[in-house]
Amino acid sequence: MAPLSNLAARDVETLIHPYTNLATLRDTGPLVLERGQGVHVYDSDGKAYIEGMAGLWCTALGYGNEELVEAAASQMRKLPFGHLFTGRSHDPAIELAEKLKEIAPVPISKVLFCNSGSEANDTQVKLVWYMNNALGRPRKKKIISRVRAYHGVTIASASLTGLPNNHIDFDLPIAGILHTSCPHHYRNAQDGETELEFSARLAAELEELILREDPETVAAFIVEPVMGAGGVIVPPQGYFDAVMRVCAKYDLFVIDDEVICGFGRLGTPFGCEALGFKPHSISIAKALSSAYLPIAATLLPEVMYEAMLSESRKVGTFAHGFTYSGHPVAAAVALKTLEIYARDRIFEKAATRMPQFQAHLKKLGEHPLVGEARGMGLVGAVELVADKASKKSFEPAKGVGPRAVKFAEEEGLIVRFISGDIVSVCPPLIINEGEIDEMFARLTRALDRTLDWARA
C-alpha cells in the first residue's frame, strides 16, 4: 500500500470523519478535495470528478457560484454576526422568514432557524412535546418514525433515524420514539402484493401500532417524502393517502422532513407537493443555501406558535434556540439562493432533465449486479445483489457496495455507499444533459468493474 501524502497523514492524525470506518481510514487516507466548479470537484492532485452526490444531497447550484460568494462577502462587511436572542433581530433573518412563509406548501405561521437538518428535527421533537404540554395533553408525547428513515444524529433526531448503526452502542433510541414499517415494496412486499395493497397493509400496521401504544399517548408522525440516506426509498402507490388518513383519525401532528427533498429535488419546490400530502410542520436545510453556509429551519403552524405564546406567558421566556439561529451571513446566502432558484427557473429546468436521469437509472436496473434501480426526480440509487432472481444480498463483510463506490471514484465520479450495498446518486440541480450522460457512463463502468471483481 502506497504511503499517505502529507495532507492525508495530517488528516488521519487530527480529524474524526463522520460515517467513516475510522480503522480502515488510517490505511487508505481520505480523498482531499481542493476546489470545485459547476458539477465538478478537483482533488489535491488536480484530478476532476463529477460530484454525483451534490456533496451530501445539498449543493443544488453546484460549485463556484459567484453570486452566493458575493452575498456572503457583502453581508460579512455589513453585519458579520447578529443573534436573535432576547428580541434582537436583523434584516436577512426577517426577509428570509418572510420568503419561506411565502413559498411554503402549507400555511406557516412562523420560522425558527437553526444550523442543520439534525437540529431542525431535534427541534421538532421538543416543540411537539412543548405544544402538547401547553394544550393540556401531557401524555400525548410519543413520536412515530419509520424503519430506515434518516432524520439526523443528535440524541433525539438519531432516535428518529431508523438505521441500526445510528443506535448501536450510542444507547439509542430514547424512550417515546417508535418505528413503523419501511415503505420499500422491492424488499418488504409479500409475494404478489401490489403497491396499493402494500400501502394499505402499511397503513394498517401504523394504525395497529397507534392502538397498541394508546392513541392518547401518540403525538406525531415524521416522514421524508422520499427516504434519502436510508436507501432512496420511493413510497409505493397510494402510500401517503393511506397513512395520512390514519394520522388524521388519531390526531397525529405530521412532520415533513424536507432536508433532502426540499428545493426542487423531486421537480417541485417541496417534496410533499410531488408526493401529494399536506404536513403540519416542515424541516428544511441543505439546499436552502445550496449548502454554501450552514442554515436550517423549522416551519411552524399557527397552533404550535399559539402554544409557544401560552408557554412564554407561563414560563416567562421561550427557552430554545442556537447562537447561530438565523445567522445573518447564512441568511443572506440563503436569500440569494432562493432568488436564483426563482429567477433562473432552476426547479423547472431540473424537471426537464429528470426523465433523462430516470431513464438512465432504469437502464442500470438491467445490469447483472443490480437488483433494483429506483429513484424520483434527480435522486436515485441502485441496490447491488448477489442474485437478481432471488434478491439475495451479498454478505456485508464482502464490501461490494464500498468497492463499487471506490471504482466510481477511480472513474472520476463521486457517489455514496449506503448499507445494504446501495449506491446512491444525487447530482446538483444544474447538471446538464451531457453531464448526466457522462455521469451514468462512469457509473456503468464502475458497476462493470465491480461485477468482474465480485466474480473473481
Any idea what DSSP says for residue 145? Answer: E
**pLDDT of res. 373:** 98
φ, ψ at 53 (rounded to 5°): -115, 10
Number of C-beta neighbours around residue 309 at 10 A: 12
Give the three cell numbers for residue 404: 463499487
Q: Return the half-sphere exposure (C-beta side, CA atoms, 13 A cut-off) of residue 66.
A: 0
How far is residue 258 CA from its own chain's centroid? 7
Q: Which CATH architecture has domain 68-343?
A: 3-Layer(aba) Sandwich (3.40)
Maximum distance among all alpha carbons in the chain?
Answer: 69
**pLDDT of res. 4:** 81
Give the three cell numbers for residue 64: 463556484
H/E segment holding residue 363: helix 346-364
Return the closest-CA partner of residue 296 out of 282, 307, 308.
282
For cell 412543548, what's the residue? Answer: 130
Residue 284's identity, in one-letter code, is I
Q: Which fold, 31-63+345-455? A: Aspartate Aminotransferase, domain 1 (3.90.1150)
**pLDDT of res. 3:** 79
* CA-only gyration radius of the chain, Å: 22
**pLDDT of res. 1:** 61
Which residues make up the CATH 3.90.1150.10 domain(s) of the chain?
A: 31-63+345-455
Return the closest-CA partner of residue 333 out of 53, 127, 65, 103.
65
Task: List per-residue pLDDT tens for the chain, 456 residues long.
Answer: 677 888 889 999 999 999 999 999 998 899 999 999 999 999 999 999 999 999 999 999 999 999 999 999 999 999 999 999 999 999 999 999 999 999 999 999 999 999 999 999 999 999 999 999 999 999 999 999 999 999 999 999 999 999 999 999 999 999 999 999 999 999 999 999 999 999 999 999 999 999 999 999 999 999 999 999 999 999 999 999 999 999 999 999 999 999 999 999 999 999 999 999 999 999 999 999 999 999 999 999 999 999 999 999 999 999 999 999 999 999 999 999 999 999 999 999 999 999 999 999 999 999 999 999 999 999 999 999 999 999 999 999 999 999 999 999 999 999 999 989 999 999 999 999 999 999 999 999 999 999 999 998
Return the closest-CA partner of residue 181 out of 200, 158, 157, 168.
200
Residue 236's identity, in one-letter code, is P
How many angstroms separate the CA atoms of 278 and 295, rounded?
24
How many angstroms separate the CA atoms of 108 and 105, rounded?
9
3-class secondary-structure state, position 275 = helix
Which residues make up the CATH 3.40.640.10 domain(s) of the chain?
A: 68-343
**pLDDT of res. 103:** 98
For cell 426542487, what's the residue? Answer: 264
3-class secondary-structure state, position 302 = helix
Alpha helices in 135-194 (DSSP H): 155-160, 185-188
**pLDDT of res. 145:** 98
- 255, β-bridge pairs: 222, 281
Return the closest-CA partner of residue 162 out of 114, 116, 224, 213.
224
**pLDDT of res. 176:** 97
Single pTM value for the model: 0.96
**pLDDT of res. 36:** 98
Any idea what DSSP says for residue 253? Answer: E
